Structure 1
Amino acid sequence: EYILPFVCIYFSLFLSKPNSSNVVKYDSLQIYNLTHLAKLLRCHQSSSSKTRTHTRRKTRSIPLGLSLNLHMVVPSCLCLSQQPGQSKCLTKQLAFRNCKRHMKRGCIRRPQILPCANEEALGSRVFVLSDLHTDYSENMTWVKGLSTVRHKKDVLLVAGDVAETHKNFVLTMSLLKDRFEQVFYVPGNHDLWCRCEEDDYLDSLEKLKKLLDACRGLGVLSNPMIIDGLGIIPLFSWYHESFDREKDITGIRIRSLEMACKDFHACKWPGELSNHDTSLALYFDAMNDKNEDMIKEIQKKCSKIISFSHFLPRQELCPEKRMLFYPNLPKIIGSDWLEARIRSIHRIEGSASACHVFGHTHFCWDAVLDGIRYVQAPLAYPRERKRRMNGGEDWLPFCIYSDGKFADRLSPCYWSDYYSANPRAPHITQLAPWVARFYGRPSSHAPH
């Protein structure tokens, strides 16, 4: 009774092509076809109401939304809800819903990402994970809860943002190294924050050095290596504002980067480096030069290569600005030099054996662009996991490689799934309905 509506939702949104009279058009966003969706749900409800007791007065919510970051994209979910005392016909309401309500008995279960790892794998398995943020006690508990037996022969790639404090960073990496045979790490922006009184650093570069020293002491790697014929290449990176080349959103009041991004205050840089230009992106990219000889050896010997970074190499790996609660987000997420280095590793045309793992934006992502597979598997903040439509964190860390081959697609990843079916249209600046509502503007009067 409760699974069928979700199946109807999925097929109506991603597979069917309803006629124009049923489509509520917002550019090409058939995902917000509420009229068509409500019709399907009403039909199912009327057919099942004969066998269902009418005494139940609970609120029912059908989650339609995406797994998203509150600060970056949309509300916890878009939902059609039936309130007590209302007609049985579902009313079209966009609302915030506590994720726990969706998981109560009698509500639709969220689709789960099924484990893809073969426990009997002959060779090494490679797992990926980013944005652990173990300064949150819930996240540290999650790390401590990882099996101390299952992964003794496995490899883990940690794509940055482990913890802000040195104490939590070392504890987290120690726990991971105890559970995995090999752990690789690249730094994220949160790792380099210098605002904790107990951590006294001259600047973020000194902190980076101490973090890498701690990793070496634990046996955690930040250099390229070949493991069972698979090339693994960590890449240092930092973002720069000119990475964003898509049309800006105008007509609404958007906070400046300095006000919105804590990096501008929590990170400390020597005088020649700044978040306001490309100097940091160039500095971190140059840190990879020392590994060029090993990278060339990997290219010669390995038919399959996984590179990984914290930041994004391509803007297409982030939703369009009109979809974002903070439309200037693309200015603080990626690096052109990172993309150039990835192309030098995986070749311009890419291949089925090329994969790059990233983090930072907290969006589950799995997509192929120009021959390279891009994957993000973030643990993220506790509040974000609770809103996820793909089952929270049970599928993490994600096994990207097993038995000598790459795993099937990470699914469901709602944003990358959306862009696999819909063209990117950055020239359109009309705000998505949830963004327009966030800024207190009717979507019909959103700027163009």
Structure 2
Amino acid sequence: MRIFALSDIHVDYEPNMAWVQELSRFDYVDDLLILAGDISHKRQLLDTCLSALTRRFRHVLFVPGNHDLWVAGETPEMDSLEKFAVVRKIASSCGATMETIRLGGLLVVPLLGWYDYSFGQPQKTLLNAWTDYRACRWPAGYGAAEVAAHFDNLNTVPPTEGTHMRITVSHFLPRIDLIPSFVSSRHRILDPVLGSTRLEGQLRKINPKTHVYGHSHINQSVWLDGIRYINNAFGYPQESRITAKQLLCIEEV
């Protein structure tokens, strides 16, 4: 069985959805796909994409991203925690899972999260520009720290005995030094909304060989403190230099 990683498909864009639909129905039937968030905030597109992928892969593990929890187009009463429950239900109905996968000696653990400004405080420019501040809606009294703590509390550390290959997965970045040095200073304004050090603390308890993440749309594979961190984002159609727009096989077991 091969293990593939992919994130940030953003199938709201027709070329991205077409790529999903054109994937072989035969080449991956024994394989596992790790999908690290940001499919679509639209229920029908999320359903269509996940259904297409579960027909092509034996296992699909999905961790929602920030875009998936947008409530644009939902009823005014729905908040993003309720949208998370909807996303979980859609994933399950499509045959994907948001739970830990244990297959023999393989352990794949999803880590839910949000950004909590542990990477820095947002500037006014970011507060005005970042779509999440308008497209997400949270219960009264919830700021970024409370949202991150909520998802952090949903995560569990499963038993690792008998597993020789452990992989963890998050949408958000677990450490800010995953942003490469070539990223310009004007783009570093995004640092506060990229992830959380909470995730790094959680994945270290599991001690994986590999951590798969998304969100930044910057593809890379790098070893840090004994763990390989992999981002294989599909990205927006116009993003061709920092995304590969193809599946990435990260392991074979």
Aligned residue in 2 for 1:40:
none
Structure number with higher relative contact order (C-alpha < 8 Å, ≥ 6 residues apart): 2
Counterpart check, 1:143 vs 2:15? no
Higher strand fraction: Structure 1 or Structure 2? 2
Q: Matched residue of 2:187: which SS?
A: coil
- Within 5 Å, give how 1:334-345 maps onto structure 2: 334-345=195-206
Match of 1:440 in 2: none
Distance 2:183 2:53 in 1: 38
Match of 1:160, SS state, is: coil
Is this contact kept in 2: 1:133–1:164, CA < 8 A?
no
SS of the aligned residue for 1:311 comes to coil
Structure 1 unmatched ranges of 5 or more = 1-123, 249-253, 347-352, 405-448
TM-score, length-scaled by structure 2: 0.94
> How far is 1:151 from its partner?
0.4
Alignment partner for residue 111 of structure 2, among 230, 235, 256?
235
Q: Which residue of 2 aligns with 1:260?
A: 129
> Following TM superposition, by how much is the alpha carbon of 1:322 offset from its aligned partner in structure 2, in angstroms?
7.1
Please say if residues 104 and 163 of structure 2, whose CA atoms lie closer than 8 Å, have aligned partners that are also in contact: no
Q: 2:146 aligns with which of 279, 286, 291?
A: 279
Flag the 1:365–1:338 CA change in 2: closer, same or farther, 3 A: same
Provide the residue aligned with 1:330 in structure 2: 191
Residue 170 (1) aligns with residue 47 (2)? yes
Aligned partners of 2:51 and 2:95 also within 8 Å: no
The corresponding residue for 2:165 is 304
Structure 2 counterpart of 1:316, from 166, 177, 201: 177
Stretch moving more, 225-234 or 321-330 = 321-330
Q: 1:242 deviation in Å?
A: 2.6
Aligned residue runs from structure 1 range 359-378, under 5 A: 359-378=214-233
State the aligned residue count.
Answer: 252
**Hey, what's the Cα distance between the residues in 2 that align with 1:214 and 1:315?**
31
Shift in CA distance, 128/257, structure 1 to aligned 2, threshold 3 Å: same
**Partner SS, residue 15 of structure 2:** helix
| Aligned-partner Cα distance in 2 for 1:322–1:380 | 16
Paired with 2:225 and 2:136, the residues of 1 have a C-alpha distance of: 34
Distance in 2, Cα, partners of 1:166 & 1:257 = 27
Distance in 2 separating the partners of 1:178 and 1:363: 28
Aligned to 1:269: 138
Structure 1 pair 383–318 and aligned structure 2 pair: CA distance change class (3 A): same
- Paired letter, 2:220: W
Name the SS of the counterpart of 1:128 in structure 2.
Answer: strand
Could you tell me the TM-score, scaled by structure 1's length?
Answer: 0.54
Q: Does structure 1 conserve the Cα–Cα contact (< 8 Å) formed by 2:35 and 2:61?
A: yes
Q: CA RMSD in A?
A: 1.9
Match of 1:183 among 60, 74, 83: 60
Partner Cα separation in structure 2 for residue 373 and residue 239 of structure 1: 21
Give, in angstroms, the shift of residue 324 of structure 1.
Answer: 3.6
